[in-house]
């Protein structure tokens, strides 16, 4: 098999056509000037060293240098062998709570920022697995469908914010339902849902949905952020803390980790509950658990292993360049016998 690795450079060959036209124009002009300024009887004495054959040879050699140089830059390659590449992994839907309670600072710098840092570390440890991201508060939205584009996953992770969802609240059930709809059940890949939240669920269907997930072959893991004692939700403006969020009665809102609910959801979903702290959010531990699940072949592609051949073209270009430099400008007897491109008397 043969291919050019960088075909976009072939456009430079078109420049040779322009150079050829300019050379032809210059040659015609030179011939006319020779005829005009010298009599035919004395032309050989006036311009004894001038050789149009040499000019053509220089141009032909230059053209060869140009062609081989461009082909070398385009990097011709020859396929030496075929091999099959398989990718195995599992499908993971990550549901992240972006409600206002995630701004509490009982985990530094705050619950949401710590989540963002943990997700980035999780992505760095993925290898062949597909990852999707769901954000939820009062409602749930798919922010990133299942993909192996980890760069895109990090980009979306950096954009996690409490403004990602307009409806405030914490609906874990909505996130579970959305995650279940995001999987392709026609494939036999192992599937897992990871819920990262403080557990202050304002709905009461999360456990039932976790049981449904287990029946569908999906394992549910939960990560709890925050402290059981709870913490207020700070309000910042331009980096300056103005106070804490209050309820309608004017009391400071204290958000607490609902550890029991998250444990019940994980057990109902056949997974485990992990409690995050300032040192470890728990995603790495969950990944270790997920890696125990059976991996499935997601893709199988045939690739050709190509070997570069650009060096041969560059060597040819260098040799022609040396020959072009060494080729004399003066008349050569054997070239005169050929009488190519010479001014006719």
pLDDT tens profile 35-48: 666 555 555 555 55
Is residue 231 over pLDDT 50? yes
Q: Give the integer Cα–Cα distance in Å for 2 and 75.
A: 11
Is residue 285 over pLDDT 60? yes
Check: CB of residue 150 under 8 Å from CB of residue 141: no
Is residue 313 over pLDDT 70? yes
Residues sharing a CB contact under 8 Å with residue 184, sequence separation 6 or more, in sequence order: 91, 146
Domain spans in the chain, listed from the N-terminal domain onward: 2-75+309-338, 86-300
Higher pLDDT, 4 or 227: 227
Is residue 268 over pLDDT 50? yes
Average pLDDT over residues 292-320: 74
Look over the chain and give the mean of its residue pLDDT values, rounded to a whole number: 84
Is residue 33 over pLDDT 90? no
Check: CB of residue 66 under 8 Å from CB of residue 60: no
Task: Please tell me the CATH code under which domain 86-300 is placed.
Answer: 3.40.50.410
Higher pLDDT, 51 or 210: 210
197 pLDDT band (50/70/90 cuts)? very high
Average pLDDT over residues 186-205: 85
Q: Give the integer Cα–Cα distance in Å for 272 and 266.
A: 5
Dihedral in degrees, nearest 10, Cα atoms 313, 318, 322, 327:
30
Among 20-34, 81-95, 107-121, the range with the most confident prediction by mean pLDDT is 107-121
Is residue 153 over pLDDT 50? yes
The pLDDT value given to residue 343:
45
The pLDDT value given to residue 165:
87
Q: Give the integer Cα–Cα distance in Å for 165 and 188.
A: 32
Residues 102-133 pLDDT 10s: 999 999 899 999 999 999 989 998 888 899 99
């Amino acid at each position: 098999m043969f291919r050019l690795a960088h075909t976009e450079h072939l456009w430079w060959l078109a420049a040779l056509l322009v150079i050829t036209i300019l050379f032809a124009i210059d040659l015609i002009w030179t011939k006319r000037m020779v005829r005009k300024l010298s009599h035919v009887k004395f032309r050989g004495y006036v311009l004894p060293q001038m050789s149009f054959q040499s000019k053509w040879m220089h141009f032909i050699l230059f053209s060869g240098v140009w062609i081989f140089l461009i082909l070398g830059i385009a990097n011709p390659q020859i396929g030496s062998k075929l091999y099959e590449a398989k990718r195995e992994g599992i499908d993971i839907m990550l549901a992240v709570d972006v409600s206002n309670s995630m701004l509490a600072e009982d985990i530094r710098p705050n619950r949401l920022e710590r989540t963002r840092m943990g997700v980035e570390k999780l992505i760095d440890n993925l290898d062949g697995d597909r990852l999707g991201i769901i954000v939820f508060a009062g409602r749930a939205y798919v922010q990133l469908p299942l993909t192996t584009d980890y760069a895109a996953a990090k980009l979306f992770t950096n954009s996690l914010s409490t403004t990602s969802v307009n409806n405030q609240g914490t609906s874990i059930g909505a996130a579970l339902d959305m995650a279940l709809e995001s999987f392709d059940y026609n494939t036999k890949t192992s599937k897992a849902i990871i819920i990262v939240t403080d557990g202050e669920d304002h709905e009461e269907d999360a456990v039932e949905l976790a049981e449904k997930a287990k029946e569908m072959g999906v394992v549910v893991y939960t990560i709890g952020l925050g402290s059981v004692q709870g913490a207020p939700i700070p309000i910042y403006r331009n980096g300056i803390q103005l106070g804490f969020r209050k309820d309608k009665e004017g009391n400071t809102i204290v958000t607490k980790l609902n550890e029991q609910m998250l444990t019940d959801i994980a057990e109902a979903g056949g997974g485990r509950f992990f409690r995050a702290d300032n040192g470890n959010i728990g995603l790495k531990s969950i990944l270790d658990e997920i890696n125990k699940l059976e991996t499935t072949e997601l893709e199988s592609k045939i690739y050709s292993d190509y070997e570069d051949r650009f060096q041969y073209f560059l060597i040819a270009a260098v040799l022609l360049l040396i020959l072009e430099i060494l080729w004399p400008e003066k008349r050569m007897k054997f070239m005169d016998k050929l009488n190519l491109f010479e001014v006719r008397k």
